[in-house]
């Protein structure tokens, strides 16, 4: 009786642990943002948006080589001081790091 329960509990813990590993940006950091229905120009393409995000991250001192939107976050490939690159995640709009 106990053995199937422990097996099921372990399986649920395994599934839950893997889903919590990936960062997910849901806009929790965006407080007090007001948007109006007025815009100038057309919609930004994905490439334009990535270049815009790259520019903002570099202005904030992040040595990113390329960025893309992933899982609601900005995924940036950042140069490490000793060489190589690592992935870092940032909140869109605020450009705060997501841990």
Residue spans of the domains in the chain: they are 2-98
**Angstrom distance (rounded) from CA 80 to CA 87:** 10
Q: What is the pLDDT of residue 80?
A: 94
What Rg value do the Cα atoms of the chain yield, rounded?
19
Q: What is the pLDDT of residue 57?
A: 97
Q: What is the pLDDT of residue 23?
A: 63
Q: What is the pLDDT of residue 29?
A: 53
**Angstrom distance (rounded) from CA 2 to CA 39:** 62
Judge whether 64 and 84 are in contact, CB under 8 Å. no
Q: What is the pLDDT along the chain (99 residues), one digit of tens a residue?
A: 677 665 666 666 666 655 555 667 766 555 555 666 777 777 889 999 999 999 999 999 999 999 999 988 999 999 999 999 999 999 998 899 998
Q: Is the pTM of this model over 0.85?
A: no
Q: What is the pLDDT of residue 30?
A: 54
């Amino acid at each position: 009786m106990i053995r199937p329960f422990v097996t099921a509990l372990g399986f649920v813990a395994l599934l839950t642990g893997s889903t919590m590993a990936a960062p997910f940006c849901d806009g929790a950091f965006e407080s007090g943002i007001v948007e109006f229905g007025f815009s100038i120009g057309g919609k930004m393409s994905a490439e334009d948006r990535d270049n815009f995000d790259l520019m903002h991250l570099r202005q904030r001192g992040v040595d990113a080589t390329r960025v893309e939107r992933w899982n609601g976050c900005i995924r940036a490939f950042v140069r490490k001081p000793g060489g190589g690159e690592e992935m870092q995640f940032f909140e869109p709009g605020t450009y705060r790091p997501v841990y």
